[in-house]
Amino acid sequence: MRTHLQTNLEQYGTQAQAYLDSPVHAQGPDLAKAQALVAQSVAAGGQALDVGCGAGHLSFALAPHVARIVALDPSGPMLDTVRQAATAKGFHHIETAQSTAENLPFADASFDLVCSRYSAHHWTRLAAALKAMRRVLKPGGHLLLIDVQGEEDALVDSHLQAIELLRDRSHVRNRAVSQWHALLADAGFADAAHESWPVRIDFSSWVTRMRTPSTRVAMIREVQIEAPKEVQEALAIETDGSFTFTTGLFWAQAGV
């Protein structure tokens, strides 16, 4: 029987190139907003850490605005992809480190910016990870966190979490905005600002990227088709299974 981390590594270790090429991950208004926030608030000589970096899209977006960025992920193949892509893009100040979000191998107050994008919904120890991220931030440093939002409405949220888990066995939970604010405050972050954007998910590429077995693809479609009207409308479920979720961005500061 596999642990959750083993499942995660198995799921993503063979999919690094697919995530590097994924339009959902490679672009979006959240990346543009992240760049603007970092350019305005982090000094040009800033040190940054990208936790759960995946194929490295957030690191690549922020690299022009910091002096050094460490891309951290538990997956060796993902980090190989980041190194290769960073070299191709000329980002020689991007480093890589292999670890999990709650076990950051850095001294206290090492970074001016700690960030993460589309990773936290895989973390089993989210509260511990956020506290670790706070630990390695300098006093007054910034946290940038981007992830798929959970739904405040319990009915809609149950359906969203169900289709996420059926598609990806390493999924843990998308947190709603109210949950994020509570988690961030508990971890020692202050003045958390929030912005969100709708993201349309093409069903075919979504399940293909994860190599979801056909039996579970059929189960996802059954959940979608049998979902009540409120869920159909909230998730904008289309006839082919494509749907819309919300990406949330949180920008907070380490308490001093």
CATH of the domain at 134: 3.40.50.150
CA atoms within 13 A of residue 91's CA, in its CB half-sphere:
25
CA atoms within 13 A of residue 253's CA, in its CB half-sphere:
10
Which value, to the nearest 10 degrees, does the dihedral of the CA atoms of residues 119, 197, 232, 176 take?
50
Give the separation between CA 55 and CA 85, rounded to whole angstroms.
Answer: 9
- 139, part of any domain: yes
Digit-coded pLDDT (tens) for 46-86: 999 999 999 999 999 999 999 999 999 999 999 999 999 99
Which tokens is 3 given? Answer: 């642990």
- 190, part of any domain: yes
Pair 4, 170: CB distance under 8 Å: yes
Whole-number pLDDT of residue 157: 98
Whole-number pLDDT of residue 18: 56
- 130, part of any domain: yes
Pair 120, 126: CB distance under 8 Å: yes
On the 0-12 / 13-18 / 19+ scale of CB atoms within 10 A, 82 is buried
**What is the pTM assigned to this prediction?**
0.92
The three-point CA angle 154-117-63 to 5° equals 160
Structural domain for 34, as ranges: 4-151+171-199+245-254
Pair 244, 198: CB distance under 8 Å: yes
User: Structural domain tally of the chain?
Assistant: 1
- 219, part of any domain: no
Ranges of residues in the chain whose predicted pLDDT is under 70: 2, 4, 6-27, 256
Give the separation between CA 243 and CA 174, rounded to whole angstroms.
Answer: 16
- 233, part of any domain: no
Give the separation between CA 80 and CA 241, rounded to whole angstroms.
Answer: 33
Whole-number pLDDT of residue 192: 85
Pair 7, 169: CB distance under 8 Å: yes
- 222, part of any domain: no
Rounded to 5 degrees, φ, ψ at 219 are: -70, -40
Which tokens is 121 given? Answer: 């919904």
Instruction: Tell me the angle at which helices 4-13 and 76-89 cross, rounded to the nearest 10 degrees.
Output: 40
- 14, part of any domain: yes
Give the separation between CA 158 and CA 150, rounded to whole angstroms.
Answer: 9
- 232, part of any domain: no
**Among residues of the chain, what percentage have pLDDT more than 70?**
89
Whole-number pLDDT of residue 44: 83
